[in-house]
A and B are shown apart, each in its own frame.
Chain A
Amino acid sequence: MPQDRLFEEMTQAVIDGSPDRARALAEQALKAGIEPLEAIDRGFKPGMDVVGEAFAQGELFIPDLIMSGEAMKAAIGVLEPELLRRKQQRQVLGKVVIGTVQGDIHEIGKTLVGTMLAANGFDVYDLGVDVPAQKFLDKVREVDADVVGLSALLTTTVLNQETVIQALKEAGMRDRVKVIIGGVPAGPEWAEEIEADGYAENATEAVEVVKRLVG
């Protein structure tokens, strides 16, 4: 298959949200000796851009977006080891540690944000739910994160977003990491009150906010 045709198919696999096809095309690219970076930048990534735009226009919906993110993830899963072997690095916009704060086991919001960030070029470390403040701090230190994302769905647990920010301050880490918050009881006013750096209403907006914070 000519290279341009292969790139088109990669783009289409992401648009269609097909992890299986994306994975197969990534493998095919490696066999054909295509640079993994080129496969990402010219093949898969344009698909994410198309899908993001169609979502903003109301033509595609959240499940489409997520499945495209999964396809992107599948392709990178194949290409990443090859990049490491070549001591190359794909363009990573930043490292984001994300999780739902202690006392809260609501998963879907932060998972959505994590998927969208990963699909848009961030390295995402998802700590899951009911995450104590110390665990956020440890991970931020370990991976040298640029951003930490705190999710909460309950009016009672939203207070623990502040707890994490306080812990970051006490550990002297507040200046080295940006904090974003999300969840139904959170809001721009709350973000200001607890001195978070950013707030987003939904996953696509979160990508914009994080891009701005690391930009």
Chain B
Amino acid sequence: MRTNYETLGSPQFQVLSASQVREVVSAAMEVLERAGTRVYGEDALALLRGAGCVVTEEGVAEGVPVALVHIPSSVVEGALQTTPGRIAVAGRDRSKRLSLERDRFYFGTGSDCPSLVDPYSGEVRKYTFDDVYDAARLSDALPNIDFHMSLGLTSGVLPATYDRPQFLAMVKGTSKPLVITAVDAEGLADQYQMACEVLGGPEAFARAPLFVVYIEPSSPLTHSIEAVGKLLYAAEHGIPAIYTPCIMAGGTGPVTMAGTMVQAVAEFLVGVVLAQHQRRGAGVIMGGVNSPMDMSTSILSYGAPELALVSAAMTDVARGLGVPMFSTAGCSDAKLLDQQAAIEATFSIVVAALSGANLIHDVGYLESGLLGSFDMLVMADEVIGMAKRLLSGVRVTPETLAVEVVERVGPGGHFLAQEHTRRHFREEVWFPGLIDRQMRRAWESGGRQTMGARVRARVRHLLESHTPQPLAEGVEARLQEIVAQAEARHAPRA
């Protein structure tokens, strides 16, 4: 026996102290009191008024009521008290479960990129329904991708209802949990109905939601009728909602990282207040792609070190608030899978994993989110494998300390014939899938393949070989029906 023995089950990583987290949250509350926030929609304004907020500058914009709302800290604190710190979701394969809670991290793709690189012709072109289905199949096949977002924006369908066929392509392509986007509350309602068809009813969805919905306020401090409508529908129906500001630091928010965080937290907290006053206990997940605006080109950078830094710092804030966190990694500003893409993806993946954010998305993004890359997704899967090895840390036990084995082998011997080696090498040592460790001659005789060439070959192999679990009999036809009905409702009048 012994005393005072401490262990670390994983590496430790933190950007902000508890005091600094309180400082950021406090500043966000001050912003909501002093500057206020612009909110659209009658329902939302009624909820906020009822909650005790100060509603001023009321007006109507394009037929929609809008007002400037000042939110007292007490209202925010009250809402946080009923916001869950743990949210469970599960894919249509119900064994594929995620527990979104403090320190547990999962990786997944991003959504809605307009273009892809055709894996055969190399041509940059728009995403079709089939491409969105293929992206889902890739996520389904990759061992380190835990949840799926569409990666591509479905073209060739009615833009007003693109989200319904897109959901069909996603849910058909993977049995993993999903994060969806929706045009508006009606689009979300249709996808919810589709999910209930897939799972066999709303009870199954309630027990473990098939998807989380991604909702974005408009920075700075504005909450559109679409965002608010989706948020309230989600809260009402037990759909966990990511409420995620995407601030361009220096453009749509302060250029200082702390200032951007304050604004992002303030915007998120409005979502918390709305959701909790719609239905107590509604699941709300903090988010953010908060990154500098590149001051040469005006883009929102997806490869900036500040994106990784702020995402990790925001994760510290989420931990302080006791809410799950939606983070960003595995993405790049590069235009193709080149050295820059590898650098930026690896950098952000390692930091995000260390940060312990729950849903780490945008794996596979190139060109600052305009190009959803199959190559990047497959390469990043390998990087995530390496990061997971890092996070599994060093096990320290009498067995792993191996003194007996060292004694048995003695000076000058070798460990390859030890049972200890064979017992542990698979679990202690990460095995590469795409990383090359061949000796030069073997590499040369194998055609001197670069990482990029190996990645492309893997993409093709997976696309040609992977079959997802099929949807249950008759389900696809019923989903098609919902899609067709939505398209009929929104078809432009001839």
Contacts and interface: CB of A to CB of B under 8 A. Distances in A.
Contact of B412 (A62, A105, A201): A105
B416 A108 contact: yes
A16 B155 CA distance: 54
Interface centre among A17, A63, A70 (most CB of B within 10 A): A63
B174 to A, nearest CB: 27
A197 interface: no
B398 interface: no
B439 A61 contact: no
Contacts of A129: 412
Contact of A64 (B412, B414, B422): B422
B417 A67 contact: yes
Interface string B404-438: 00000000111011010110011000000000000
Contacts of B422: 17, 63-64, 67
A8 B417 CA distance: 23
A113 to B, nearest CB: 12
Interface of A: 17, 61-64, 66-67, 69-70, 105, 107-108, 111-112, 115, 129, 188, 201-202
Given A62-B416, A108-B416, A129-B412, A201 B441 contact: yes
Contacts of B439: 201-202
Contacts of B416: 62-63, 66, 108, 111-112, 115
Contacts of B295: none
Nearest to A201: B439
Nearest to B416: A66
B403 interface: no
Contacts of A70: 417
A168 B417 CA distance: 33
A17 B413 CA distance: 19
B291 to A, nearest CB: 39
Contacts of B426: 61
28 contacts: A61-B426, A63-B416, A63-B421, A63-B422, A63-B425, A64-B422, A66-B416, A66-B417, A67-B417, A67-B419, A67-B422, A69-B417, A70-B417, A105-B412, A107-B412, A107-B413, A107-B414, A108-B414, A108-B416, A111-B414, A111-B416, A112-B416, A115-B416, A129-B412, A188-B441, A201-B439, A201-B441, A202-B439
Nearest to B431: A61
A52 to B, nearest CB: 16
A108 B417 CA distance: 11
Given A61-B426, A201-B442, 4 more contacts: A62-B416, A63-B422, A70-B417, A111-B414
Interface string B376-417: 000000000000000000000000000000000000111011
A202 B439 CA distance: 9
Nearest to B414: A108
Contacts of B419: 67
A66 B439 CA distance: 20
A174 B287 CA distance: 74
Nearest to B429: A61
Nearest to A188: B441
Nearest to A112: B416
Nearest to B420: A63
Contact of B425 (A17, A61, A202): A61
B360 to A, nearest CB: 29
B414 to A, nearest CB: 5
Contacts of A107: 412-414
Contacts of B442: 201
A138 B419 CA distance: 35
B426 to A, nearest CB: 8
Contacts of A62: 416
B411 to A, nearest CB: 10
A16 B417 CA distance: 13
A202 to B, nearest CB: 7
